């Protein structure tokens, strides 16, 4: 048997075709070129999230006439090093654990059970799992769940924010609708749900839309709903819905104005908006220094002992695309005294952690 030096080698050795999806910030398929580059450390991992690569790997037998029937899905999470690449030591340890389990010792373990008790395996939460299954099913041209039909039937009738007869609609149906956002047949259903459905359903749909690249028509609609809504949870979900889309500048400007008008002290509600922005839209902050400045200034002004400021700053320093703009802001001598104090507190905590 030839040496197994990468994930690709591993799957070739068990005669499987592997398709990779990133499950970190958004659910998105990795191209074969991206897989080769990060697997062999020729390039940084393209979608790091909280210092990890969170992967769904769909394995289909290479010589099976019905690969969809016999496919397995692995969910693994591998750490990212300081340069943004997969930690090769960890990856090699993962590979060795699989080789020992299914290729050596005459093991009869099949691929579907190969990750049992593996330290790098993880289980996506219910929301992420529903959206991944929707993305994968559509990619494989499979029919949506029965919850999808139930949701369409519900949205075809008269609905309102105060409805209580929607609760039997499963999260899978919402995810199945979101993945069809760019099909004209379902555009009106999605807009109707966001505008009129109970907030819980509308928010769940908005969150599912974060995995889609929405067009200008949707973005214009989302901006209008964001301005008209007074529900902070829903507004945060709308930020997530727009997170993968181009042309988000109008929403970015509205957020900036919201923070400016808050006497430079983020309320708990505005903190939710900032958290959604940081978690799902760091590229907005990377391209908009003013928005980044307003976010960090408002967090620093909160009366919470720099707790929110430190958490957000730590998250952003581990997000490659916004790390440099953040440090440029922190080194700016023109920032407020309070923001400078927040930065000093952050450095002090980091130094203390290193000494412990």
Nearest to 55 by CA among 46, 67, 63, 68: 46
Strand boundaries in the chain, DSSP class E: 16-22, 28-29, 52-61, 72-79
Task: Scan for tokens 């967090």, then name that residue.
Answer: 299
- Phi, psi at 290, each rounded to 5°: -70, -40
Q: Of 161, 159, 210, which is closest to residue 27 (Cα–Cα)?
A: 210
Q: In the 3-class helix/strand/coil scheme, how is 309-335 assigned residue by residue? A: HHHHHHHHHCCHHHHHHHHHHHCCCCC
Q: Which residues of 116-152 are buried (b: 16+ CB within 10 A; e: fewer)?
A: eeeebeeebeeebbbbbbbbbbbeeeeebbebbeebb
Contact 180, 152 (CB under 8 A): no
Which single residue is written with the structure tokens 């749909």? Answer: 205
pLDDT one digit per residue (tens) for the chain, 356 residues: 568 888 998 998 888 899 999 999 999 999 999 999 998 888 999 999 999 999 999 999 887 666 566 789 999 999 998 788 888 899 999 999 888 887 665 554 577 788 988 999 999 999 999 999 999 999 999 999 999 999 999 999 999 999 888 888 999 999 999 999 999 999 999 999 999 999 999 999 999 999 999 999 999 999 999 999 999 999 999 999 999 987 678 888 888 887 776 556 778 888 999 999 999 999 999 999 999 999 999 999 999 999 999 999 999 998 989 999 999 999 998 899 999 999 999 988 665 554 34
Separation of alpha carbons 185 and 190, rounded Å = 10
Tokens found for residue 21: 């999806």
Kind and range of the H or E element at 255? helix 249-260
3-state DSSP: the chain helix, strand, coil percent, rounded to 5? 55, 10, 35
Residue 276's contacts (CB-CB under 8 Å, 6 or more residues apart) are 236, 237, 239, 240
- Maximum C-alpha span of the chain: 68
Count CA atoms within 13 Å of residue 249 on its CB side. 4
Q: Which residue has the tokens 């990619």?
A: 139
Q: What pLDDT is stored for residue 100 in this prediction?
A: 84
Whole-number Cα distances in Å, 45 to 140, 248, 268, 310: 25, 25, 34, 25
pLDDT, residue 183, reads: 96
């Amino acid at each position: 048997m030839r040496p197994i030096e990468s994930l690709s080698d591993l799957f070739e050795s068990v005669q499987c075709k592997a398709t990779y999806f990133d499950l970190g910030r958004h659910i998105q398929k990795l191209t074969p070129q991206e897989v080769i580059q990060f697997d062999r450390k020729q390039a940084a991992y393209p979608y790091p999230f909280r210092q990890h690569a969170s992967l769904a790997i769909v394995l289909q037998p290479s010589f099976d006439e019905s690969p969809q029937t016999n496919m397995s899905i692995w969910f693994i999470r591998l750490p990212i090093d300081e340069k943004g690449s997969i930690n090769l030591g960890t990856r090699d340890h993962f590979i060795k654990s699989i080789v020992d389990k299914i290729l050596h010792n005459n093991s009869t373990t099949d691929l579907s059970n190969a990750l049992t008790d593996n330290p790098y395996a993880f289980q996506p939460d219910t929301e992420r799992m529903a959206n991944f299954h929707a993305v994968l099913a559509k990619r494989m041209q499979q029919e949506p769940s029965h919850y999808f039909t139930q949701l369409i039937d519900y949205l075809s009738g008269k609905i309102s924010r105060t409805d209580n007869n929607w609760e039997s609609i499963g999260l899978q149906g919402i995810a199945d609708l979101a993945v069809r956002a760019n099909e004209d047949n379902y555009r009106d259903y999605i807009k109707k749900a966001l505008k009129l459905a109970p907030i819980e359903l509308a928010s769940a749909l908005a969150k599912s839309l974060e995995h889609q690249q929405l067009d200008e028509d949707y973005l214009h609609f989302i901006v209008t709903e964001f301005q008209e809504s007074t529900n902070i949870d829903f507004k945060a979900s709308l930020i997530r819905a727009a997170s993968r889309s181009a042309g988000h500048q109008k929403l970015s400007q509205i957020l900036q104005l919201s923070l400016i008008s808050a006497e430079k002290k983020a309320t708990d509600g505005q903190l939710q908006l900032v958290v959604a922005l940081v978690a799902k839209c760091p590229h907005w902050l990377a391209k908009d220094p003013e928005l980044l400045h307003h976010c960090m200034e408002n967090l620093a002004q909160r009366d919470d002992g720099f707790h929110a400021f430190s958490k957000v700053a730590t998250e952003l320093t581990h997000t490659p695309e916004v790390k440099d703009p953040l440090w440029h802001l922190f080194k700016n001598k023109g920032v407020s005294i309070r923001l400078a104090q927040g930065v000093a507190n952050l450095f002090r905590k980091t130094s203390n952690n290193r000494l412990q």
